[in-house]
Amino acid sequence: MIFDTSEKGLLTLFKPYQAALLEHIWDLNSSDRVGVTSGQAYEFLKAHPDSKSRASVINFLNEMVEEGVLTYEEESGKGGYHRVYYPKKDREQFAQHVVETISNKLAETFPLTHE
């Protein structure tokens, strides 16, 4: 992730299709726990003007798992096992994570010295 100060909201961290997909996953889970497969994510993004390949969608979902934003369960289905992705952090928890991560990195990179 790269922090772009010229943007707002999720677009400060993500490409438009990535931000749209995260918002979609959070919206689906606002009242019930609803999983999203990479195929469903790809289908959702087909209508997005900045849509990407299925491989790009899978890579993004897996990056979000590595970052601790999403989690997944493996379910069997047609063609074998598939990952079903769920939010691990909600919007508020994610925002707190971003603030803490950026603040810690800034403090580490530019330590304040007091005389």
The pLDDT value recorded for residue 68 is 94
CB-CB contact of 97 with 106 (8 Å): no
Residue 71 has pLDDT above 80, yes or no: yes
Could you tell me the sign of the dihedral formed by the alpha carbons of 95, 96, 101, 106, in that order? positive
80-86 average pLDDT score:
93
12-88, which class in CATH?
mainly alpha
DSSP letters for 39-61: HHHHHHHHTSTT---HHHHHHHH
Beta partners for residue 73, in sequence order: 84
Domain boundaries, the chain: 12-88
pLDDT tens digit sequence for 23-37: 999 999 988 889 999
pLDDT digits (tens, 9 = 90+) for 35-49: 999 999 999 999 888
